A and B are shown apart, each in its own frame.
Chain A
Amino acid sequence: MPVGGGIRDSKALLKRFGVALGILGIAGLLWTFGRESYKAASFPRSPDPAVGRIFPDNVHGIVIFETRSQKRDSDYIEVASFSMLGLSLVLSLIYRKRSGAQASKSGPGNTPTI
C-alpha cells in the first residue's frame, strides 16, 4: 500500500473517531440539559431523608434534592460528556495540524478545513 494512502486512512479514521466523540459529547450535554430541566420541575426542593433525597443540586437557582445515585449518575455523564467533547476538540486540532502539514507538502490551494 502506498504511504500516502496509509496517511489518508489514518486521517479518515481520526476524523471519524473525532466526530463520533464530538457527537457523543454533545448528546451527553443534551441529555444533561433535559435531565436538569426535569429535575427543576419535578424533584423536591427540600430534603427527603426517607427516600434518600438529601444531596442538593442547583439548577439555575432552584435547589433540588436527589439521591446519591442520581447525583452520581448525573455527575458521571456530565464529566464524560465534557471529556469526549474536549478530546474531540484535541483530535480536530491534531487533524488540522496533519492536514496542514500534508497540504504544505502538496502545495498551495489544498488546505482542508476542520
Chain B
Amino acid sequence: MSMGNVTAEPILAVVEGKEYKVGLITQAAKGQLERICEKRAREAVLAGKDQLTDEEFKLAYSSFLDKVASGDFAYGGPTFRRWIDSGLGTLAMVQVLFGVGADEAERLVTQGPAEVSAALRSVFAASFPQAPAAS
C-alpha cells in the first residue's frame, strides 16, 4: 500500500520522451471503457446490416440489446473481459487512461509498448486491492 493508492494520483509515464499523466481506473474510467466496448459492439451489428435481411438484423440487434441488459458489456462482464484483453481493448484503455485520442493511443502502443505496459501495470496495482498472498 502507498499514498498513491490512497490519493489515487495519476501515474507519470514517459513514452518517446513525452510525459503523460496516466489516470487510475476509477469508477468513471470503468464507465468510459464500458461505453466504448458497447459502442464497438453496436457498430459491429450495424456494419453487418446490409448483409442481413430485416428479420435477421432485428434478431442480431435484439441479441445485442439482450447482452446490454444482462451486463455483458459491464466492467468484468464476459464480453467486456474478452474485449479488454484484446488489442482493441488495450487501445481503448490507453485512450481513456492516458487521456489521448484513438490515433495517439495507437501511436503510443506501437512506439512505446514497454513503457505503456509498465504504466498500465502500475495503474492496475494502484487501482485495485491486491489479493492476499497464498500461504
Do the two chains bind?
no
Interface residues of B (CB under 8 A from A): none
Give the B-binding residues of A (Cβ under 8 A).
none
